[in-house]
């Protein structure tokens, strides 16, 4: 089915990038429902084209009703910037604009940009509430989109979402509002919360829940925990990948690993929440442009970030939450491309791996990596502490004076009788 079959105006169709020959599955399902005015609950794998699945109908409806406005809530600054850029790229053909509202950017500059009355606000919840408390009027917002909705819930932003969407006294979105949620996973908790914000939502889903993209080749290597850095360096050098996105669990691990890779001659940057906004933007821009080969990131980048033709994702540490694995590996094989997802797994991560297997319903077998024999032993679950000496404990408890705990001095050989 071509885009022309989706009741979009010719200006929008001509503004689409040349690579967009036909709509993705989620776009084909969601766009007609949104254009019909329905609330939509959309489930689709990451990298399936969710941004234009809601962005194109928003632009179409705002072109017809220029007095209306749209609000898109996202969980991270990086995603906010990415979404606003993607919408502006297409919306310029209709003289419609989006503005990015997120932390780490001068608030006064954002307030000045808001004075120009942009059509679409793409925002993180904290900065939006801050601006609303300082005069931002949301009464003309007729279209509300929650992108990566489950991440908004997982990261603790849902009270802010409700504060914005439930028309409280401080900030009121339009009473007749169309609402849509887009996400790669939907828990029962999120579905229940969705029903509080939406009216008879149409549910669209593609493909099967909690699955990874078919274009991703997943490889898992069992290695010693202490060998992961050397194994990572060896894999990157051996395959000579042009770009590699590496995921770790902790911020401090990202910086430490980046130093080791740079020392090994691999141009690397780290990106995590402790970095200043300017540093985060610079690192991501350098990676996208090819100035650096490896970007080491925490799960800040696991959701929603699009990197053109990213060939490889490597998990140096498996995530604690199985759903996050799906989002991590989904950074590759986007928009119909092929990709590789590699994971370096140690014995201590078997519980996390089993959780991923259970969620994805796949075996995800581990294999040994050439040159890195596994010498670590699986945990038996038993305590490594020696059994307590009950008699020794009783002797200790029987001592009443501190002198009784002092060690008697050894007699020298010359003093022996």
Could you identify the residue written with the tokens 């006064």?
108
What DSSP character marks residue 115?
A: T
Name the residue among 170, 236, 227, 216 with its Cα closest to residue 329: 216
Residue 219 and residue 363 in contact, taking contact as beta carbons nearer than 8 Å: no
If you search the block for the tokens 């209306």, which residue do you land on? 68
Higher pLDDT, 187 or 249: 249
> Residue 298 has which token pair?
């925490």
DSSP state of 369: B
pTM to 2 decimal places: 0.68
Q: How far apart are CA 73 and CA 304, in angstroms?
A: 13
Contact 182, 53 (CB under 8 A): yes
* 129-138, 174-183, 408-417: least confidently modelled range: 408-417
Alpha-carbon distance of 407 to 366, in angstroms, equals: 53
Looking at CATH, the fold of the domain delimited by 216-368 is given as: Rossmann fold (3.40.50)
Q: In whole angstroms, what is the distance from residue 63 CA to residue 15 CA?
A: 14
Ranges of each domain in the chain: 3-206, 216-368
Q: What is the mean pLDDT of residues 108-119?
A: 94
Residue owning tokens 């060690």 = 407
| Burial group, residue 277, by CB count within 10 angstroms (0-12, 13-18, 19+) | middle
More confidently predicted of 125 and 214: 125
The answer to whether the CB of 60 falls within 8 A of the CB of 81 is: no
**Separate counts of helices (H) and strands (E) for the chain:** 15, 14
Does 398 score more than 70 pLDDT? no
User: Do 98 and 122 contact (CB within 8 A), yes or no?
Assistant: yes
Model pLDDT, residue 272: 85
Which has more confidence, 314 or 207? 314
Taking a C-beta distance cutoff of 8 angstroms, is the pair 118, 98 a contact? yes
Residue 341: pLDDT over 80: yes
Please tell me what DSSP assigns to residue 215: T
Domain pair 3-206 / 216-368, same fold:
yes
Lowest model confidence (mean pLDDT) among 148-157, 307-316, 363-372: 148-157
**3-state SS assignment for residue 233:** helix
The CATH topology of domain 3-206 is: Rossmann fold (3.40.50)
Q: Where are the alpha helices (DSSP H) in 76-157?
A: 77-91, 107-114, 125-133, 149-154
- Report whether 86 contacts 19 (CB < 8 A): no
Q: Which of 224, 266, 223 is nearest to 241 (CA)?
A: 266
């Amino acid at each position: 089915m071509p885009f022309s079959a989706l009741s979009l105006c010719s200006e929008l169709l001509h503004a689409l990038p040349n690579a967009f020959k036909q709509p993705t599955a989620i776009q084909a399902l969601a766009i007609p429902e949104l254009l019909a005015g329905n609330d939509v609950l959309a489930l689709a794998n990451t990298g399936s084209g969710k941004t234009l699945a809601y962005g194109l109908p928003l632009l179409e409806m705002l072109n017809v009703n220029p007095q209306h406005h749209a609000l898109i809530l996202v969980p991270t600054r990086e995603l906010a910037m990415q979404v606003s850029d993607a919408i502006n790229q297409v919306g310029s053909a209709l003289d419609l604009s989006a503005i990015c509202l997120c932390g780490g950017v001068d608030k006064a500059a954002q307030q000045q940009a808001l004075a120009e009355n942009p059509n679409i606000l793409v925002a993180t919840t904290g900065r939006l509430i801050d601006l609303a408390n300082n005069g931002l009027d949301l009464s003309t917002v007729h279209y509300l989109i929650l992108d990566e909705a489950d991440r908004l819930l997982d990261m603790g932003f849902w009270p802010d979402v409700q504060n914005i969407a439930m028309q409280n006294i401080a900030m009121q979105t339009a009473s007749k509002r169309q609402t849509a949620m887009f996400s790669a996973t939907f828990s029962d908790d999120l579905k229940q919360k969705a029903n509080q914000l939406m009216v008879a939502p149409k549910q669209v889903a593609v493909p099967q829940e909690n699955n990874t993209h078919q274009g991703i080749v997943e490889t898992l290597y069992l290695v010693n925990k202490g060998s992961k850095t050397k194994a990572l360096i060896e894999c990157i050098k051996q395959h000579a990948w042009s770009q590699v996105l590496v995921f770790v669990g902790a911020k401090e691990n990202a910086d430490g690993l980046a130093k080791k890779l740079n020392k090994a001659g691999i141009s690397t940057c780290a990106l995590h929440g402790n970095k200043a906004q300017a540093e985060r933007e610079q690192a991501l821009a350098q990676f996208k442009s090819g100035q650096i080969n490896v970007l080491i990131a925490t799960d800040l980048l696991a959701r929603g970030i699009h990197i053109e033709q990213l060939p490889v994702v490597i998990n140096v540490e498996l995530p604690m939450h199985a759903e996050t694995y799906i989002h991590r590996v989904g950074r590759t094989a986007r928009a119909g491309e092929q990709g590789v997802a590699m994971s370096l797994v140690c014995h201590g991560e078997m519980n996390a791996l089993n959780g991923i297997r259970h969620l994805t319903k796949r075996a995800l077998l581990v294999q040994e990596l050439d040159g890195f024999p596994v010498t670590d032993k699986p945990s038996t679950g038993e305590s490594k502490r020696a059994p307590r000496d009950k008699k020794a404990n009783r002797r200790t408890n029987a001592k009443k004076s501190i002198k009784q705990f002092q060690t008697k001095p050894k007699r020298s050989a010359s003093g022996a009788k």
